[in-house]
């Protein structure tokens, strides 16, 4: 089962907007060294909507090669086209990814039966564990827990990344899908509470810039170290809002640039963080202790 702090990796770009491969390599290595429990390349935070299919596949391949099975790689392979999702998932399997994170089909607005058939078709086409990514705020459609329970009966549908922000969902999902069905929060601000409701971890944006802290909070929960858990929770809490003050991943890329991890370049239609957003992000980083004697980012960028 996947658990703990699993960063939804940013994709560094150079000044011309092309993928910064040396920066990506160092960033992935740093994430593993800092204690992340898994990695998600090519999620929304990795700007999957604006990378080409060739770039998408290259990012997954490179991530797998760098990680070398030290932690699970859960590759984002979703699409609003079932055929396209199958192609991307097949590549992830061939590249050696440990699982596929597949978003509900956006824009098409399929019915619940359509959602079931979409995931069932991918399941039948590719022999790889599949984590459903339910994010109605971006996709409009919301997979019901009943539909998820139907899918959970398929052997390779192993869990969900729940970005609904609804803290009643984990309880209902456990009841209908079973305790072995992996539940990962997709919402940083409610991720600590998600654990208390039966969750197993988080696919995190914050972990891009605070991987050690995010991993330590998850470890403290597992170890029942409530004092450490609450201290880190409160330390990171403002970031859960600040990193979404403008469209993700614009704020977190700015934060990463402040730490020297990569540049803040994003691909259009996204734009770099505004001055107002930068002020908010920097205040949250200061609260989290990331600007006080932090040399991790600079070391990663220079090493």
Per-residue confidence band for 293, with pLDDT thresholds at 50, 70 and 90? low
The answer to whether 45 and 84 have CB atoms below 8 angstroms apart is no
Number of residues that this document lists for the chain? 303
What pLDDT is attached to residue 172? 98
CA 183 to chain centre: 13
Mean pLDDT (whole number) for 278-292: 97
What distance in Å separates the CA atoms of residue 180 and residue 42, rounded to the nearest whole number? 26
Catalytic residues: 133, 161
Per-residue confidence band for 1, with pLDDT thresholds at 50, 70 and 90? confident
For 247-271, the pLDDT digits (tens) are: 999 999 999 999 999 999 999 999 9
Residue 175, pLDDT > 60, answer yes
Helices (DSSP H) in the chain: which residue ranges?
21-33, 53-67, 82-95, 112-125, 136-139, 145-152, 169-177, 191-196, 211-222, 226-242, 250-258, 275-287, 296-302
Task: Tell me the domains of the chain and their CATH numbers.
Answer: 4-225 (3.20.20.70)
DSSP string, 47-86: TGGGS-HHHHHHHHHHHHHHHTTSS-BEEE---SSHHHHH
For 193-232, the pLDDT digits (tens) are: 999 999 999 999 999 999 999 999 999 999 999 999 999 9
For 61-71, the pLDDT digits (tens) are: 999 999 999 99
Mean pLDDT (whole number) for 46-59: 98
Per-residue confidence band for 300, with pLDDT thresholds at 50, 70 and 90? very low
Per-residue confidence band for 292, with pLDDT thresholds at 50, 70 and 90? confident
Tokens of 245: 């003050």
Facing residues of 90 across strands? Answer: none
Between CA 132 and CA 137, with CA 141 as vertex, the angle to 5 degrees is 85
Angle between helices 226-242 and 211-222 (to 10 degrees): 140
Residue 43, pLDDT > 50, answer yes
Burial 68-100 (b: 16+ CB within 10 A, else e): eeebbbbbbbbbbebeebbbbbbbbbebbbbbb
When mean pLDDT is compared across 235-239, 241-245, 292-296, the lowest value belongs to 292-296
């Amino acid at each position: 089962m996947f658990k703990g702090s699993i960063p939804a990796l940013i994709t560094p770009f150079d000044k011309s907007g092309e993928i910064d491969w040396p920066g990506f390599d160092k960033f992935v290595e740093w994430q593993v060294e800092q204690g992340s429990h898994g990695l998600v390349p090519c999620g929304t935070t990795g700007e999957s909507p604006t990378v080409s299919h060739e770039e998408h596949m290259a990012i997954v391949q490179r991530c797998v090669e760098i990680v070398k099975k030290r932690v699970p790689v859960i590759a984002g392979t979703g699409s609003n086209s079932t055929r396209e999702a199958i192609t991307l998932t097949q590549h992830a399997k061939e590249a050696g990814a440990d699982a596929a994170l597949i978003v509900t089909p956006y824009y098409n607005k399929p019915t619940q039966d359509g959602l079931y058939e979409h995931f069932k078709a991918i399941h039948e086409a590719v022999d790889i564990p599949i984590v459903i990514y339910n994010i109605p705020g971006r996709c409009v459609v919301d997979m019901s827990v009943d539909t998820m329970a139907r899918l959970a009966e398929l052997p390779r549908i192993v869990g969900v990344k729940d970005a609904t922000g609804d803290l009643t969902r984990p309880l209902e999902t456990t009841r209908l899908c079973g305790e072995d069905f992996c539940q990962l929060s997709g919402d940083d601000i409610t991720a600590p509470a998600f654990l208390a409701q039966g969750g197993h971890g988080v696919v995190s944006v914050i972990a891009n810039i605070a991987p050690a802290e995010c991993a330590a909070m998850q470890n403290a929960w597992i170890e029942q170290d409530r004092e450490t858990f609450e201290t880190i929770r409160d330390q990171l809490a403002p970031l859960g809002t600040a990193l979404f003050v403008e469209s993700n991943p614009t704020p977190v890329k700015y934060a990463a640039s402040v730490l020297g991890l990569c540049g803040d370049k994003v691909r259009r239609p996204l734009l770099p963080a505004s001055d107002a957003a930068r002020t908010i992000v920097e205040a949250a980083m200061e609260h989290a202790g990331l600007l006080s004697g932090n040399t991790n980012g600079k070391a990663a960028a220079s090493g």
